Structure 1
Amino acid sequence: MVALPSRSPRLTMPLRRVSDLASGFCLLFVLLFNYCLVGNGSPAQPGHTLLDLHWYPATATWYGSPEGDGSDGGACGYGSLVDVRPLRARVGAVSPVLFKNGEGCGACFKVRCMDRSICSRRAVTIMVMDECPGCASFSRTHFDLSGAAFGRMAISGENGQLRNRGVLSVVYRRTPCKYPGKHIAFRVNEGSTDYWLALLVEFEDGDGDVGSMHIREAGSTEWLAMNHLSGATWCLVRGPLKGPFSVKLTTLTTGKTLSARDVIPSNWSPKATYTSRLNFFP
């Protein structure tokens, strides 16, 4: 039996996500309504580059089952996507400096262990799907990886022994996200109405993060700015909104823009996911 390392402080904290809409729905709607009006996002910063060949020091732990996916959805709001390839076993929670109040959701990193006695030279690629607020106690930059991702850094046959090490010294660098055969998709938040629309971005390759989002209603030429709600979710208060909706997103890191025309149909429904025909990589 492989002994599990001590869990990070984050594991005792509730995930910051919208849940249990059936309980206190009215209060929740008012809070979300006001939040969307004010917003907390920051504009994209075009001109930054994603390509960085330098490695930076950090620490890493793991959580969940030894060979599991780690998060059950996490603070980014991706939910069951953690079990879907190519995301499966590529899950990571990060300390606040990388989480960026949710704007770091979707970003991809290469993480490599520095202990040559038990670690291979290969790096594991992970996608930010969760926040680890308490992990800053290990170091300012910390990765809390799924058990499977953590174990992949080991030399052949030493996965279990590596997980028993607990906190590891690692190096990391940003890397483009790659989802072969996948197109960007937009999941409609379950609380959305004709007056409050919230969208979560899925399978965005390249930068992976979102710096701004706009939607355009049917028959309109005006792009309406959405506000960052939480994690990878953006929202808009206005109405009544009339679909189909076109969606334009701009990445946070490099300021690249992509527009999906009429991607959300006029008969859209909450909790549904609508897939575009586009992505940043061909």
Structure 2
Amino acid sequence: MGIFQTSAIYLVLFTIVRSSARDDEWKSATATYSKETDGSIITEGACGYGDLHKTSYGKYSAGLSSLLFNQGRTCGGCFELRCVDHILWCLQASPSVIVTVTDFCPPNYGLASDYGGWCNFPREHFEMSEGAFSEIAERRADIVPVQYRRVNCVRNGGLRFTLTGSSYFYQVLITNVGLDGEVVAVKVKGSKTGWIPMGRNWGQNWQCTIHLGGQPLSFEVTSSSGRTVTSYNIAPPNWQFGQTFEGRQF
């Protein structure tokens, strides 16, 4: 093998290792929490998940500031957070917690970004559930400095598809997504159709306007990592709006 070929291989390997290390790097942000009676976030957020206990995101969920939310594309993604550099509020040994993105933390430009306007652009901020926040910091804290990094989502069971809509408007909410957690493309197929691309309605709700009634439905889902998983005939021909069906997992 020539010296130029060897150098090229080392360069590629170095780039891959450096890229992987960059993905795992801890970055700095801040965090607060939303107070609920049971320590979790149960209200419907900007990702469209509805009751977060039904999607198993309730206790370990968070809303993100504009920069991190990325217009909803980060919905379903998982972040590992730890409280740092605050001897009064951070729990000893800096334990970490993993949360799922379920909501948007809107900016409040009537307040200074360092005094109440925590989610003002370009701040990187997490509005956590109380239960998740209490695993890394004291509940008495107002706002704490944190470090965060993206991690893969660990889910039990397969992807879940909840069907809603009416006659010629079909919408599916996709939850319990493993791997990077972010859905970037969806296709649906009935027994009388080919594969039909669905458009993002909002959050992780996807839509199309093709008549699909009376047909078994299959779904093809692509994550932000570029991986695709196909779930064939998971909804029977007599499926109804409001029902949830389970497919394959990444």
Could you say which structure has the larger radius of gyration?
2
Native 8 Å contact 1:50 1:176 kept in 2:
no
Which ranges of structure 2 fall in alignment gaps of 5 or more residues?
1-18, 108-117
Q: Could you tell me which residue of structure 2 aligns to residue 37 of structure 1? A: none
Match for residue 78 of structure 1 among 37, 49, 54: 49
Rounded Cα–Cα distance in structure 2 between residues aligned with 1:185 and 1:279: 9
Q: Could you tell me which residue of structure 2 aligns to residue 236 of structure 1? A: 208
What amino acid is aligned across from residue 83 of structure 2 in structure 1? C
Q: Could you tell me which residue of structure 1 aligns to residue 151 of structure 2? A: 175
Native 8 Å contact 1:71 1:129 kept in 2:
no
Q: Could you tell me which residue of structure 2 aligns to residue 91 of structure 1? A: 61
Rounded Cα–Cα distance in structure 1 between residues aligned with 2:85 and 2:210: 54
Secondary structure, counterpart of 2:24 in structure 1: coil
Secondary structure, counterpart of 2:67 in structure 1: helix
Secondary structure, counterpart of 2:119 in structure 1: helix
Secondary structure, counterpart of 1:57 in structure 2: strand
* Residue 50 to residue 131, structure 1, CA distance change in 2 (3 Å): farther
Q: Could you tell me which residue of structure 1 aligns to residue 76 of structure 2? A: 106
What amino acid is aligned across from residue 210 of structure 2 in structure 1? R
Native 8 Å contact 2:65 2:119 kept in 1:
yes
RMSD: 2.2
* Residue 166 to residue 214, structure 1, CA distance change in 2 (3 Å): same
Q: Could you tell me which residue of structure 2 aligns to residue 6 of structure 1? A: none
Q: Could you say which structure has the greater relative contact order, defined with CA pairs below 8 angstroms and 6 or more residues apart? A: 1
Rounded Cα–Cα distance in structure 2 between residues aligned with 1:186 and 1:49: 31
Rounded Cα–Cα distance in structure 2 between residues aligned with 1:213 and 1:51: 29
Q: How many residues align?
A: 219
Q: Could you tell me which residue of structure 2 aligns to residue 64 of structure 1? A: 35
Q: Could you tell me which residue of structure 2 aligns to residue 144 of structure 1? A: 127
Rounded Cα–Cα distance in structure 2 between residues aligned with 1:66 and 1:150: 14
Please report the TM-score for the alignment, with normalisation by the length of structure 2: 0.80
Post-superposition offset of 1:168 = 1.0
Post-superposition offset of 1:50 = 11
Q: Could you tell me which residue of structure 2 aligns to residue 159 of structure 1? A: none
Secondary structure, counterpart of 2:145 in structure 1: strand
Query: Does 2:238 match 1:262?
Result: no
Q: Which structure shows the bigger proportion of residues in strand conformation?
A: 2
% identical aligned pairs: 29
Rounded Cα–Cα distance in structure 2 between residues aligned with 1:55 and 1:49: 12
Match for residue 205 of structure 1 among 175, 178, 192: 178
Query: Does 2:219 match 1:247?
Result: yes
What amino acid is aligned across from residue 127 of structure 2 in structure 1? D
Rounded Cα–Cα distance in structure 1 between residues aligned with 2:20 and 2:43: 31
* Residue 85 to residue 122, structure 1, CA distance change in 2 (3 Å): farther
What amino acid is aligned across from residue 155 of structure 2 in structure 1? Y
Please report the TM-score for the alignment, with normalisation by the length of structure 1: 0.72
